[in-house]
Amino acid sequence: MTEQGDPVAARATTVAAWKRFFSPENRYLAPAFITSILLVGHLSFGILESYTRTGLAIAASLVTELILGRLFIGKWPNLASAYITGISVGILVRSPAFWPYALCAMVSIMSKYVLRVKGRHIWNPSNFGISVLLFLAPETVASLSIQWGNYLLPMIVIWILGSIIIYRVRRFHITATYVVCFILFALLRSLLTGSPWQSEIAPLTGPMYQLFIFFMITDPKTTVRSNLWQSIVVAIVALVEMILRLDQLVYAPFYALFLVGPVALLLQLWFDSKRAVPAGARA
Amino acid sequence: MARILLATVFAGLILSPLVIKRLSSERASAKLDRRSALARHGFYFEEVSRAAGVDFVHQAPTLDSRLEHIMPQVASMGASVSIVDFDRDGWPDIYVTTSKEGAKNALYRNLHDGTFQNVAVEMGVADVNREGTGVSMGAVWGDYDNDGYEDLLLIKWGKPELFHNDAGRGFTRVTDQVGLPPWVNANTALWFDYDGDGLLDLFVGGYYDENVDLWHLASTKMMPDSFEYAKNGGRKYLFHNLGNGRFEEVSEKLGINSRRWALAAGAADLRGSGHTDLFIANDYGVSELYFNDGHRFHEVGEQTGVGFAPKSGMNASFGDILNQGRYSVYVSNISEDGVLIQGNNLWVPKEGTSGEHLQFENLARDFGVELGGWSFGAQFGDLNNDGTLDLYLTNGYVSLDHNRSYWYDFSKIAGGHSTIISDAKNWPAMEGRSLSGYQSKHLWLNDGSGKFIDVAQAVGVTDTYDGRAVAFADLWNRGVLDVVVANQRGPLLIYKNTVTPENQWVEFALEGTKSNRSAIGAEVTVFWNGEKQVQEVSGGCGFAAENQRRLHFGLGKNPQVQKAVIRWPSGRIQTIDHPAVDQMHAVKEPQ
């Protein structure tokens, strides 16, 4: 009997297909999700500065990855990660000029090949590129810091979908820890500064944070290994962000991750090497 | 080796923004030296308001106490300037608004000797900010009854007012007779004859919802519901002039139905169709462009490219910047280093597009007029009479404490969801902090080939007030454009222009007969030395401003003027062959 003739089997096949799609092994899950965010945001509200600028960021990212991958790894690399970087840059960078999009994408990808310790890159690529650009070219570049439209529904859809995907790839604890910490620190900031608590929570409701919490802080390549330490590190990111916010830094989340992420990773590498030495000695 | 090369390229890329910044800063202009300014740029300005007897200082209103914590940014508009020859003596006069409850607007009569006299009280157009009626936000002049004298429409956060000009001897309030609405929180208005019937019609754009009384708030949920997608602003009004001293509101009937937060509007025949199109620059959202087919308006913002990326539109002015006989549109927005780089828009007609298929592309960056701080009013005009239109931009939002900025808190709330941003009580207190304050102004000189160079400091535009409205006028009939700037909580500035006498000019003062008598909507195209430039008589443009009615053309050195072609709003074409230069030509529409 064929599956076409058996509704139970057909349903099982469909479920299996969806499970495969939402499985941690599916490297195209995150690219598909970020593309859907882009499409929902742009078709609903026109969030992009322009198609050409976003396209430029994606193209620059993919081309840089292809060239560097071929040159330094000796094979054509999988482009899923570079695509996420390019599209993140295309959404998050806000500039009327074209060059920041290409430059940010190229710097982001190159950072993976240049800034390496023991074979690992230590910064999330787009976090590195955007932080560098915001720091060095503030007269030309800003980041997406506004709301997408007035409607709650698309936001809720993105939050739910993002949470499901992040859960399936076993990184939901990172996002959840960060969100809880952000809210607690926002309330603390409100107490310290006297600002309305709503204004302290407000950034979390914006699209910049959706990209930040779903894609940047959860990046498998630049987070530490154990779930517990991942949660601790991301809580420290939120703490550093709060301190930077008290100093009124607009792009506090990017800078906080820029500062904390590599330190955590370097510490892990250092501990790993300390552990490896006695093991080697025993051998 | 390859890794070293890669690291070098990487470092070079990271440092490239610093190199770009260095190159840009080298282009910054120097301080004023009149002789060298005249030699290098062909003109310079002197600020002469006091010497001219003008000591007007704008004052801001005090709104509902529940807005106290953010009062400086809510009560941040109302300084306006409009140029009018209200007494038909051939010399431009100046009307300026203030916004403090009970304070008086001023009408400066030109005394022909370099000075002005405030005659607003005796003319009956001063005491217009009485408690309970709202406060002034702007004024535009148009001869709505074709009696030869320009009448005054005053827009307010409050009750709009229309004053009939009684032959230059005084004004009569006719608001109640003409049928204006009881309350509009308006920041923009303009006169234009949209249907070509020879009677001036009126557009008024609401900012806050007209149901909001900013002195007696029913709710603090009156702020925009999004920083870039807000649609909870004031409605738009299009008043059709019925010709019997009354107007009929027809906006919805004719296709104008928007609740975006309008801050500036301009009208010009962008397609050469003979019908005046309407451009609206909206705060907290995209601009809107309405094509006029003579009967209805059609919103084509997205189709033409101007209504795609949402920004904070605060100005709409038109200029034939490339001497091609086509208008570009300048829309001002917000740029603050490291926080928000919207960039101003210079919408230039795309090559190969015209008519119904007209499209625009933003060339502000390519032309060098993109970054202007928290930009407000701007105007195009040939300030050095070299034959190309220059661009003057004023800016600066709230100048309070020099050393403390509100930007961080502003950016927090701007990123919040509509339920947070739309409620004033959620906004952090300003506590005396500045928000894009004390900004240097921009005066971009057009080199005629698509590049503008900022020479503001070099030619004497050195103020750092919170600029709002800019208006151009040949105040003393010398054949040069002077600049009048209205500043929020600041003085009215008059920049008197001195232009090298080598550069020549020609001016046209038009009077309609079949067309509306103000000739608003009439176009003059001057052909000289193989160039042509078009300008249109405007009934209000820029931000809260109206230029002089007459059109001023710079012609450069030794011009050979072939002709001037006038297209009247009635459709009649009139050609003046070889008009004399360095003269103002008074032209009446042929019967």
Per-residue pLDDT reduced to its tens digit, B459-510: 999 999 999 999 999 999 999 999 999 999 999 999 999 999 999 999 999 9
Question: pLDDT tens across B30-58, in order?
Answer: 567 899 999 999 999 999 999 999 999 99
Nearest to A203 among B226, B370, B415 (CB): B415
- Going from the C-alpha of B485 to that of each of B60, B514, B536, the distances in angstroms are 16, 34, 21
Nearest to A96 among B364, B416, B417 (CB): B364
B282, B306, B412, B435: best mutation site toward chain A, by most A Cβ within 10 Å?
B412
C-alpha span between A78 and A61 (Å, rounded): 12
Chain A residue with minimum CA distance to B369: A96
A86 to chain B, closest Cα gap in Å? 17
> Residues B491, B484: contact at Cβ < 8 Å?
no
C-alpha span between A206 and A47 (Å, rounded): 12
> Residues B75, B62: contact at Cβ < 8 Å?
yes
- Enumerate the residues of chain B whose CB falls inside 8 A of the CB of residue A137: 17, 20-21
Question: pLDDT tens across B177-195, in order?
Answer: 999 999 999 999 999 999 9
Strand partners, B302: none
Cα angle vertex B379, ends B187, B83, to 5°?
70
**What type of residue is B180?**
L
- Alpha helix segments (H runs only) across B415-498: 418-421
Q: List phi, psi (to 5°) of B309.
A: -90, 120
Nearest to A103 among B16, B310, B409 (CB): B16
Tokens, residue B319: 């200029």
Across the interface, whether the CB atoms of A147 and B229 are under 8 A apart is answered yes
Lowest mean pLDDT among A157-171, A257-271, B105-119, B283-297: A157-171
CB within 8 Å of B408: residues ≥ 6 apart? A245, A248, A249, A250
Nearest to A206 among B2, B24, B415 (CB): B415
Nearest to B426 among A132, A152, A198 (CB): A198
C-alpha span between B439 and B260 (Å, rounded): 27
- The residue-averaged pLDDT of A272-283 equals 67
Of chain B, the percentage scoring pLDDT greater than 70 comes to: 99
Tokens, residue A241: 């962000």
A165 to chain B, closest Cα gap in Å? 23
> Residues B513, B198: contact at Cβ < 8 Å?
no
- Residue A147 in this model has a pLDDT that exceeds 80: no
Chain B residue with minimum CA distance to A193: B428
Q: List phi, psi (to 5°) of A73.
A: -110, -20
Question: pLDDT tens across B120-136, in order?
Answer: 999 999 999 999 999 99
Across the interface, whether the CB atoms of B418 and A150 are under 8 A apart is answered yes
CB pairs below 8 Å between A and B: how many? 160
Q: What is the pLDDT of residue A2?
A: 43
- Enumerate the residues of chain A whose CB falls inside 8 A of the CB of residue B13: 103, 106-107, 110
B12 to chain A, closest Cα gap in Å? 10
